[in-house]
Amino acid sequence: MDIENTIRSRKSVRNYESEPIDGDLRKSIEDAISESWSPFGGSISIRLKSFPPKESFKPGTYGVIRGASDFLLMAMAPDDTASAITAGFRMEQVVLQATRLGLGTCWIAGTFKESDFGKGEDWPDGQELKIISPVGIPKMAETMVGKLARFLIGSDRRQPFEKMFFENDKSTPISTSNRFAESLAMMRLAPSSTNSQPWRAIAENDGTIHFFSAKKGLIHIIDCGIGLCHFILTEQSLGHDGAFKKLTDPECGPVDGWIYITSYRREIW
Ligand SMILES: Cc1cc2nc3c(=O)[nH]c(=O)nc-3n(C[C@H](O)[C@H](O)[C@H](O)COP(=O)(O)O)c2cc1C
């Protein structure tokens, strides 16, 4: 499955078959973890942990996740922006690989018992467990709790493209013929905490694009890392070998209420 179809077919799954993932599927997820990369630095770890169905212990998700036996655990250096961008950027690569394999996932930052999932795990460099995601075979139908979560969070609603992405300044909506339109369209489909969709961008005429978060807080920096992952994987699939760079003084200047994350060019910086 190509990247755009993978991104379009991913959605959070909260109800799973109890069948554990093993053999080639498991190896493919483990490979995706070890091959995941980030240009943003920081300190994070991703692990795949099993809670075999025949053992009676079930880690707590406050009833949000049903049936899953395997979980991705992501630990990161607390209160560190670089780690938060990398956390989103790398973990989403694993999520997309799971999607390609036909497996379900659901990023979880709030509704899990840290003591259940983190038991026996020793994290390097003072990292702390911040995110988990079930990974497994989706059940055909969502549970009532899963349906209610989607409804309450408004998971199926995405903000309009032209209210998120701009040209030259914050008041000119980006044209759908802009060179970055396709990659931004894929950024817009990323998962985000409480579906907050904080990704914002301003494209300059010189081919540079600046990325921002419209919301404050580390969780939204993780969201931005996820969106940037969708953006760069789409760029790469279109044959562009560009790079991110955090500028000290982006040409568009600071934007009221937005937090500057990074910039990107297809040409050499
Ligand atoms: C960083 C992050 C944290 C999340 N935390 C939770 C959570 O604690 N509980 C939950 O049910 N969903 C959680 N989600 C899933 C979002 O609600 C979901 O991605 C969003 O509603 C969009 O729906 P979709 O993933 O199906 O496109 C989280 C997503 C992200 C990216």
Q: In this structure, are 95 and 200 located in the same domain? A: no
121 found inside a domain = yes
What confidence tier does 40 reach under pLDDT thresholds 50, 70, 90? very high
Q: Which residue is it, tokens 């395997």?
A: 70
Q: Is the pTM of this model over 0.95?
A: yes
Q: In this structure, are 221 and 139 located in the same domain? A: no
Percent composition of the chain: helix, strand, coil (DSSP 3-state, to 5): 35, 20, 45
Q: What per-residue confidence (pLDDT) applies to 39? A: 98
Question: Residue 226 CA: which ligand 1 atom is closest?
Answer: 31
Q: In this structure, are 48 and 117 located in the same domain? A: yes
Question: Residue 111 CA: which ligand 1 atom is closest?
Answer: 8
What confidence tier does 253 reach under pLDDT thresholds 50, 70, 90? confident
Give 137-182 as a DSSP string: PBPSS--HHHHHHHHHHTTT----GGGTEEESSTTSBPPTTSTTHH
Task: Evaluate: CB of 153 within 6 angstroms of ligand 1.
Answer: yes
153 found inside a domain = no
Q: Which residue is it, tokens 């499955």?
A: 1
Across the range 234-242, mean pLDDT stands at 97
In angstroms, the CA 88 to CA 92 distance is: 6
Q: What is the pLDDT of residues 60-114, one digit of tens each?
A: 999 999 999 999 999 999 999 999 999 999 999 999 999 999 999 999 999 999 9
Q: In this structure, are 7 and 122 located in the same domain? A: yes
Q: In this structure, are 63 and 106 located in the same domain? A: yes
Compute CA 1 distance to the chain's CA centroid, rounded to the nearest angstrom: 19
- Site to probe by mutation for ligand 1, drawn from 107, 112, 145, 188 as the one with most ligand atoms within 8 Å of Cβ, is 107
Domain end: 124, 148, 172, which one? 148
Q: What per-residue confidence (pLDDT) applies to 41? A: 98
Q: In this structure, are 143 and 13 located in the same domain? A: yes
Question: Residue 110 CA: which ligand 1 atom is closest?
Answer: 8
Q: Does residue 55 carry a pLDDT above 90?
A: no
Task: Evaluate: CB of 99 within 6 angstroms of ligand 1.
Answer: no
Domain end: 122, 148, 174, which one? 148
Q: Does residue 58 carry a pLDDT above 80?
A: yes
Q: In this structure, are 11 and 144 located in the same domain? A: yes
Question: Residue 219 CA: which ligand 1 atom is closest?
Answer: 1
Question: Residue 190 CA: which ligand 1 atom is closest?
Answer: 27
Domain end: 108, 126, 148, which one? 148
155 found inside a domain = no
Q: Does residue 193 carry a pLDDT above 90?
A: yes
Which protein residue's CA is at the shortest distance from atom 9 of ligand 1?
Answer: 108
Q: What per-residue confidence (pLDDT) applies to 57? A: 83
Q: What per-residue confidence (pLDDT) applies to 232? A: 98
Q: In this structure, are 139 and 174 located in the same domain? A: no
Q: Does residue 56 carry a pLDDT above 80?
A: no
User: What is the domain range of residue 133?
Assistant: 3-148
Across the range 26-46, mean pLDDT stands at 98
Q: In this structure, are 173 and 207 located in the same domain? A: yes
Which protein residue's CA is at the shortest distance from atom 7 of ligand 1?
Answer: 108
Q: Is 212 helix (H, G, I), strand (E, B) or coil?
A: strand
Give 73-132 as a DSSP string: EEEE-TT-HHHHHHHHHHHHHHHHHHHHTT-EE--BSSSS-HHHHSTT---GGG-EEEEE
Q: In this structure, are 11 and 94 located in the same domain? A: yes
CATH assignment of the domain containing 113: 3.40.109.10
Q: What is the pLDDT of residues 139-158, one digit of tens each?
A: 988 889 899 999 999 999 99
Q: How many angstroms separate the alpha carbon of residue 15 from the centre of ligand 1? A: 14
Q: In this structure, are 39 and 125 located in the same domain? A: yes
The domain total for the chain is: 2
